[in-house]
Structure 1
Amino acid sequence: MGLFLALFLSCFSGDQPLILKVNDMAVIDTFALGPPVQKATWRESPNIRVCAATQVKMHRAQKALRYWEMLGYEFGSARIDEDIGCMHPRYGEIIITLPEGNIDNEHMAATRIYTEKITGNIAKAKIFIYPKYAQKDRVIEHELGHALGWQHHKQKFHIMHPNWQLGGYNNAGLRR
Protein backbone atom coordinates (compact mmCIF):
# COMPACT_ATOMS: atom_id res chain seq x y z
CA MET A 1 0.00 0.00 0.00
CA GLY A 2 2.82 2.39 0.85
CA LEU A 3 4.52 1.66 -2.49
CA PHE A 4 1.30 2.42 -4.37
CA LEU A 5 0.84 5.69 -2.49
CA ALA A 6 4.45 6.70 -3.23
CA LEU A 7 3.99 5.97 -6.96
CA PHE A 8 0.70 7.86 -7.02
CA LEU A 9 2.14 10.92 -5.32
CA SER A 10 5.23 10.91 -7.57
CA CYS A 11 2.96 11.54 -10.57
CA PHE A 12 2.25 15.05 -9.34
CA SER A 13 4.67 17.90 -8.89
CA GLY A 14 4.09 20.31 -6.07
CA ASP A 15 4.17 23.42 -8.25
CA GLN A 16 1.60 22.35 -10.88
CA PRO A 17 -2.08 22.27 -10.04
CA LEU A 18 -4.03 19.14 -10.86
CA ILE A 19 -6.44 19.97 -13.68
CA LEU A 20 -8.85 17.50 -15.11
CA LYS A 21 -9.94 18.61 -18.58
CA VAL A 22 -13.51 17.73 -19.56
CA ASN A 23 -14.85 18.37 -23.04
CA ASP A 24 -17.66 20.87 -23.42
CA MET A 25 -20.93 19.24 -22.50
CA ALA A 26 -24.44 20.18 -23.53
CA VAL A 27 -27.43 19.49 -21.36
CA ILE A 28 -30.26 17.84 -23.26
CA ASP A 29 -33.71 17.57 -21.74
CA THR A 30 -34.92 14.01 -22.17
CA PHE A 31 -37.94 14.18 -19.90
CA ALA A 32 -40.12 16.77 -18.24
CA LEU A 33 -41.39 16.76 -14.71
CA GLY A 34 -45.17 16.74 -14.61
CA PRO A 35 -47.75 16.97 -17.36
CA PRO A 36 -47.96 19.71 -20.02
CA VAL A 37 -49.53 22.99 -18.84
CA GLN A 38 -52.47 24.67 -20.56
CA LYS A 39 -52.67 28.30 -19.49
CA ALA A 40 -56.00 29.16 -21.19
CA THR A 41 -58.80 27.56 -23.22
CA TRP A 42 -61.33 28.54 -25.87
CA ARG A 43 -64.99 28.86 -24.83
CA GLU A 44 -66.15 28.19 -28.42
CA SER A 45 -64.46 26.32 -31.27
CA PRO A 46 -62.19 28.81 -33.07
CA ASN A 47 -62.30 29.45 -36.81
CA ILE A 48 -59.03 29.25 -38.73
CA ARG A 49 -57.94 31.88 -41.28
CA VAL A 50 -54.72 31.30 -43.23
CA CYS A 51 -53.17 34.33 -44.90
CA ALA A 52 -52.13 33.35 -48.43
CA ALA A 53 -48.84 35.27 -48.10
CA THR A 54 -47.61 32.65 -45.59
CA GLN A 55 -47.67 30.00 -48.35
CA VAL A 56 -49.36 27.59 -45.93
CA LYS A 57 -51.52 25.44 -48.21
CA MET A 58 -55.02 24.46 -47.08
CA HIS A 59 -54.18 20.74 -47.12
CA ARG A 60 -51.24 21.44 -44.78
CA ALA A 61 -53.40 23.49 -42.40
CA GLN A 62 -56.08 20.77 -42.43
CA LYS A 63 -53.47 18.10 -41.62
CA ALA A 64 -52.42 20.13 -38.56
CA LEU A 65 -56.04 20.63 -37.52
CA ARG A 66 -56.72 16.88 -37.81
CA TYR A 67 -53.82 16.22 -35.43
CA TRP A 68 -55.59 18.24 -32.73
CA GLU A 69 -59.06 16.97 -33.66
CA MET A 70 -57.82 13.42 -32.98
CA LEU A 71 -57.07 14.66 -29.45
CA GLY A 72 -60.64 15.89 -28.98
CA TYR A 73 -60.34 19.55 -29.98
CA GLU A 74 -62.91 21.14 -32.29
CA PHE A 75 -62.53 23.92 -34.82
CA GLY A 76 -65.00 25.97 -36.82
CA SER A 77 -64.42 26.83 -40.46
CA ALA A 78 -60.98 26.99 -42.07
CA ARG A 79 -60.19 29.17 -45.08
CA ILE A 80 -57.44 30.88 -47.05
CA ASP A 81 -57.52 34.70 -47.05
CA GLU A 82 -56.05 36.28 -50.20
CA ASP A 83 -56.28 39.84 -48.81
CA ILE A 84 -52.89 41.58 -48.74
CA GLY A 85 -53.85 43.13 -45.39
CA CYS A 86 -54.48 39.74 -43.79
CA MET A 87 -52.83 40.12 -40.41
CA HIS A 88 -55.30 40.82 -37.61
CA PRO A 89 -57.26 38.00 -35.96
CA ARG A 90 -60.95 38.48 -35.33
CA TYR A 91 -62.70 37.45 -32.13
CA GLY A 92 -63.04 33.64 -32.05
CA GLU A 93 -60.35 33.13 -34.66
CA ILE A 94 -56.87 31.71 -35.05
CA ILE A 95 -55.05 33.50 -37.85
CA ILE A 96 -51.88 32.20 -39.53
CA THR A 97 -49.96 35.20 -40.83
CA LEU A 98 -46.50 36.50 -41.68
CA PRO A 99 -44.20 37.50 -38.81
CA GLU A 100 -44.11 41.08 -37.65
CA GLY A 101 -40.79 42.83 -37.16
CA ASN A 102 -40.41 41.57 -33.58
CA ILE A 103 -40.06 37.84 -34.40
CA ASP A 104 -36.49 36.52 -34.24
CA ASN A 105 -35.11 34.97 -37.46
CA GLU A 106 -33.94 31.95 -35.45
CA HIS A 107 -37.56 30.95 -34.79
CA MET A 108 -39.54 29.08 -37.43
CA ALA A 109 -42.80 30.43 -36.06
CA ALA A 110 -44.36 32.01 -32.99
CA THR A 111 -47.83 32.38 -31.50
CA ARG A 112 -49.54 35.13 -29.53
CA ILE A 113 -52.83 34.49 -27.75
CA TYR A 114 -55.26 37.15 -26.55
CA THR A 115 -57.44 36.35 -23.54
CA GLU A 116 -60.60 37.91 -22.14
CA LYS A 117 -59.89 39.85 -18.95
CA ILE A 118 -62.95 38.66 -17.06
CA THR A 119 -63.12 34.95 -18.00
CA GLY A 120 -59.50 34.26 -18.93
CA ASN A 121 -60.72 32.37 -22.02
CA ILE A 122 -58.84 32.74 -25.28
CA ALA A 123 -60.52 35.39 -27.46
CA LYS A 124 -58.23 35.13 -30.50
CA ALA A 125 -54.79 33.88 -31.50
CA LYS A 126 -52.15 34.87 -34.01
CA ILE A 127 -49.66 32.37 -35.43
CA PHE A 128 -46.65 33.94 -37.16
CA ILE A 129 -44.81 31.72 -39.65
CA TYR A 130 -42.12 32.33 -42.24
CA PRO A 131 -43.06 30.94 -45.70
CA LYS A 132 -39.89 28.82 -45.81
CA TYR A 133 -41.23 26.80 -42.85
CA ALA A 134 -44.84 26.56 -44.07
CA GLN A 135 -44.51 22.93 -45.18
CA LYS A 136 -42.10 21.75 -42.47
CA ASP A 137 -43.37 18.83 -40.37
CA ARG A 138 -44.83 19.63 -36.93
CA VAL A 139 -44.37 23.41 -37.06
CA ILE A 140 -48.05 24.28 -37.58
CA GLU A 141 -49.16 21.50 -35.21
CA HIS A 142 -46.85 22.92 -32.51
CA GLU A 143 -48.08 26.49 -33.03
CA LEU A 144 -51.72 25.37 -33.00
CA GLY A 145 -50.91 23.85 -29.61
CA HIS A 146 -49.90 27.30 -28.39
CA ALA A 147 -53.05 28.79 -29.97
CA LEU A 148 -55.03 26.25 -27.91
CA GLY A 149 -53.29 27.52 -24.77
CA TRP A 150 -50.54 24.91 -24.32
CA GLN A 151 -47.11 25.95 -23.11
CA HIS A 152 -43.77 24.37 -24.03
CA HIS A 153 -43.14 20.93 -22.56
CA LYS A 154 -39.53 19.73 -22.50
CA GLN A 155 -40.27 16.04 -23.05
CA LYS A 156 -38.13 14.63 -25.86
CA PHE A 157 -40.23 13.84 -28.96
CA HIS A 158 -43.24 15.80 -27.58
CA ILE A 159 -45.16 18.04 -30.00
CA MET A 160 -44.83 20.97 -27.58
CA HIS A 161 -41.06 20.68 -27.10
CA PRO A 162 -39.49 24.15 -27.55
CA ASN A 163 -36.69 22.80 -29.77
CA TRP A 164 -37.94 21.53 -33.15
CA GLN A 165 -35.03 19.08 -33.46
CA LEU A 166 -35.90 17.43 -30.12
CA GLY A 167 -39.65 17.44 -30.74
CA GLY A 168 -41.89 14.85 -32.33
CA TYR A 169 -45.53 13.82 -32.51
CA ASN A 170 -45.85 12.57 -28.91
CA ASN A 171 -49.00 14.16 -27.45
CA ALA A 172 -49.01 12.79 -23.88
CA GLY A 173 -51.11 14.98 -21.60
CA LEU A 174 -52.77 16.99 -24.37
CA ARG A 175 -56.02 15.04 -24.81
CA ARG A 176 -59.10 17.15 -24.25
Structure 2
Amino acid sequence: MTRLTLVRGDITEQAVDAVVNAANSSLLGGGGVDGAIHRKGGPEVLAACRALRASHYGKGLPTGQAVATPAGNLPARWVIHTVGPRYLAEEDRSELLASCYRRSLEVADELGARTVAFPAVSTGIYGWPLDDGARVAVRTVRATATAVDEVRFVVFDERAHRAFESALAEAPEE
Protein backbone atom coordinates (compact mmCIF):
# COMPACT_ATOMS: atom_id res chain seq x y z
CA MET A 1 0.00 0.00 0.00
CA THR A 2 1.22 3.47 -0.87
CA ARG A 3 1.96 5.69 2.13
CA LEU A 4 0.77 9.29 1.76
CA THR A 5 2.69 11.96 3.63
CA LEU A 6 2.38 15.73 3.83
CA VAL A 7 5.32 18.14 4.01
CA ARG A 8 5.37 21.90 4.20
CA GLY A 9 8.46 22.98 2.32
CA ASP A 10 10.22 23.41 -0.98
CA ILE A 11 9.57 20.68 -3.55
CA THR A 12 12.97 21.34 -5.14
CA GLU A 13 14.65 20.15 -1.92
CA GLN A 14 12.90 16.78 -1.69
CA ALA A 15 15.23 13.77 -1.85
CA VAL A 16 12.89 11.41 -3.70
CA ASP A 17 13.06 9.27 -6.82
CA ALA A 18 10.76 11.60 -8.75
CA VAL A 19 9.53 15.15 -8.31
CA VAL A 20 6.32 16.09 -10.11
CA ASN A 21 6.39 19.42 -11.90
CA ALA A 22 3.19 21.42 -12.32
CA ALA A 23 4.33 22.32 -15.83
CA ASN A 24 2.82 24.42 -18.55
CA SER A 25 2.22 22.73 -21.89
CA SER A 26 5.36 24.24 -23.45
CA LEU A 27 7.54 22.24 -21.00
CA LEU A 28 10.03 25.10 -21.17
CA GLY A 29 9.60 26.56 -17.69
CA GLY A 30 7.35 29.22 -16.27
CA GLY A 31 6.36 30.58 -12.89
CA GLY A 32 5.62 28.95 -9.55
CA VAL A 33 6.64 25.31 -9.11
CA ASP A 34 7.53 25.02 -12.80
CA GLY A 35 9.99 27.91 -12.67
CA ALA A 36 11.51 26.71 -9.40
CA ILE A 37 12.08 23.19 -10.76
CA HIS A 38 13.64 24.51 -13.96
CA ARG A 39 15.89 26.94 -12.05
CA LYS A 40 17.14 24.38 -9.54
CA GLY A 41 17.23 21.48 -12.03
CA GLY A 42 19.36 23.56 -14.35
CA PRO A 43 20.19 23.19 -18.02
CA GLU A 44 19.81 19.40 -18.11
CA VAL A 45 16.07 19.66 -17.37
CA LEU A 46 15.54 22.37 -19.97
CA ALA A 47 17.57 20.47 -22.59
CA ALA A 48 15.50 17.31 -21.98
CA CYS A 49 12.27 19.31 -22.27
CA ARG A 50 13.46 20.91 -25.51
CA ALA A 51 14.23 17.43 -26.86
CA LEU A 52 10.68 16.31 -25.99
CA ARG A 53 9.27 19.35 -27.80
CA ALA A 54 11.43 18.55 -30.83
CA SER A 55 10.19 14.96 -30.96
CA HIS A 56 6.93 13.69 -29.43
CA TYR A 57 5.43 16.92 -28.11
CA GLY A 58 5.86 19.48 -30.88
CA LYS A 59 2.60 21.16 -29.92
CA GLY A 60 3.30 20.82 -26.20
CA LEU A 61 2.27 18.32 -23.55
CA PRO A 62 -1.53 17.95 -23.41
CA THR A 63 -3.42 18.83 -20.23
CA GLY A 64 -3.74 15.84 -17.91
CA GLN A 65 -0.76 14.00 -19.37
CA ALA A 66 2.68 13.37 -17.87
CA VAL A 67 6.20 12.77 -19.15
CA ALA A 68 9.57 12.33 -17.42
CA THR A 69 13.01 13.89 -17.82
CA PRO A 70 16.22 13.61 -15.81
CA ALA A 71 16.21 15.84 -12.72
CA GLY A 72 19.48 17.65 -13.35
CA ASN A 73 20.66 19.35 -10.15
CA LEU A 74 17.61 18.41 -8.09
CA PRO A 75 18.04 15.82 -5.28
CA ALA A 76 15.79 13.46 -7.27
CA ARG A 77 16.45 11.13 -10.19
CA TRP A 78 13.60 12.31 -12.41
CA VAL A 79 11.16 15.13 -12.95
CA ILE A 80 7.69 14.05 -14.02
CA HIS A 81 6.12 16.98 -15.83
CA THR A 82 2.32 17.17 -15.83
CA VAL A 83 0.07 19.89 -17.19
CA GLY A 84 -2.83 20.72 -14.92
CA PRO A 85 -6.07 22.24 -16.15
CA ARG A 86 -7.03 25.85 -15.63
CA TYR A 87 -10.01 26.13 -13.28
CA LEU A 88 -13.28 27.11 -14.94
CA ALA A 89 -16.25 27.60 -12.61
CA GLU A 90 -18.69 26.87 -15.44
CA GLU A 91 -17.06 23.56 -16.47
CA ASP A 92 -16.17 20.51 -14.36
CA ARG A 93 -12.57 19.78 -15.28
CA SER A 94 -11.81 17.65 -12.21
CA GLU A 95 -11.19 14.53 -14.33
CA LEU A 96 -8.36 16.37 -16.09
CA LEU A 97 -6.88 17.29 -12.72
CA ALA A 98 -7.22 13.70 -11.50
CA SER A 99 -5.52 12.53 -14.70
CA CYS A 100 -2.43 14.58 -13.77
CA TYR A 101 -1.97 12.56 -10.60
CA ARG A 102 -2.92 9.21 -12.16
CA ARG A 103 -0.68 9.65 -15.24
CA SER A 104 2.21 10.88 -13.06
CA LEU A 105 1.98 7.70 -10.98
CA GLU A 106 1.87 5.60 -14.15
CA VAL A 107 5.04 7.32 -15.39
CA ALA A 108 6.62 6.80 -11.94
CA ASP A 109 5.84 3.08 -12.22
CA GLU A 110 7.40 2.95 -15.70
CA LEU A 111 10.55 4.52 -14.25
CA GLY A 112 10.64 2.24 -11.21
CA ALA A 113 10.29 5.20 -8.83
CA ARG A 114 9.40 4.27 -5.25
CA THR A 115 9.11 7.79 -3.78
CA VAL A 116 7.30 10.63 -5.53
CA ALA A 117 6.79 14.24 -4.42
CA PHE A 118 3.73 16.10 -5.75
CA PRO A 119 2.92 19.80 -5.59
CA ALA A 120 -0.70 20.98 -5.40
CA VAL A 121 -1.23 20.83 -9.17
CA SER A 122 -3.32 23.66 -10.71
CA THR A 123 -3.93 25.46 -7.39
CA GLY A 124 -1.59 28.35 -8.16
CA ILE A 125 -1.90 30.56 -11.21
CA TYR A 126 -4.31 28.07 -12.82
CA GLY A 127 -6.82 29.07 -10.15
CA TRP A 128 -8.07 25.71 -8.89
CA PRO A 129 -9.66 26.10 -5.43
CA LEU A 130 -7.17 24.73 -2.94
CA ASP A 131 -9.56 22.61 -0.85
CA ASP A 132 -11.02 20.93 -3.93
CA GLY A 133 -7.59 20.47 -5.50
CA ALA A 134 -6.36 18.74 -2.35
CA ARG A 135 -9.42 16.44 -2.30
CA VAL A 136 -8.94 15.49 -5.96
CA ALA A 137 -5.22 14.83 -5.34
CA VAL A 138 -5.71 12.63 -2.28
CA ARG A 139 -8.68 10.67 -3.67
CA THR A 140 -6.95 10.06 -6.99
CA VAL A 141 -3.67 8.92 -5.47
CA ARG A 142 -5.49 6.60 -3.05
CA ALA A 143 -7.57 5.12 -5.91
CA THR A 144 -4.63 4.58 -8.29
CA ALA A 145 -2.91 1.20 -8.30
CA THR A 146 0.83 1.88 -8.17
CA ALA A 147 4.10 0.32 -7.07
CA VAL A 148 5.15 3.66 -5.53
CA ASP A 149 5.85 3.19 -1.79
CA GLU A 150 5.48 6.84 -0.74
CA VAL A 151 3.63 9.77 -2.24
CA ARG A 152 4.66 12.99 -0.59
CA PHE A 153 2.45 16.03 -1.01
CA VAL A 154 4.77 19.02 -0.70
CA VAL A 155 3.04 22.33 -0.09
CA PHE A 156 4.52 25.77 0.29
CA ASP A 157 2.34 27.50 2.88
CA GLU A 158 0.13 26.92 5.91
CA ARG A 159 -3.13 27.37 3.99
CA ALA A 160 -2.21 24.59 1.55
CA HIS A 161 -0.99 22.42 4.43
CA ARG A 162 -4.39 22.74 6.15
CA ALA A 163 -6.22 21.90 2.91
CA PHE A 164 -4.20 18.71 2.40
CA GLU A 165 -4.48 17.77 6.09
CA SER A 166 -8.26 18.00 5.77
CA ALA A 167 -8.30 16.00 2.54
CA LEU A 168 -6.15 13.29 4.09
CA ALA A 169 -8.43 13.14 7.14
CA GLU A 170 -11.58 12.95 4.96
CA ALA A 171 -10.26 9.98 3.00
CA PRO A 172 -8.34 7.87 5.52
CA GLU A 173 -6.26 4.94 4.33
CA GLU A 174 -7.97 1.58 4.46
- TM-score normalised according to structure 2 size: 0.32
Higher helix share: 2
Q: Give the greater-gyration-radius structure (CA).
A: 1
Greater relative contact order (Cα < 8 A, sep 6+) = 2
In the superposition, the TM-score normalised over structure 1's length comes to: 0.31
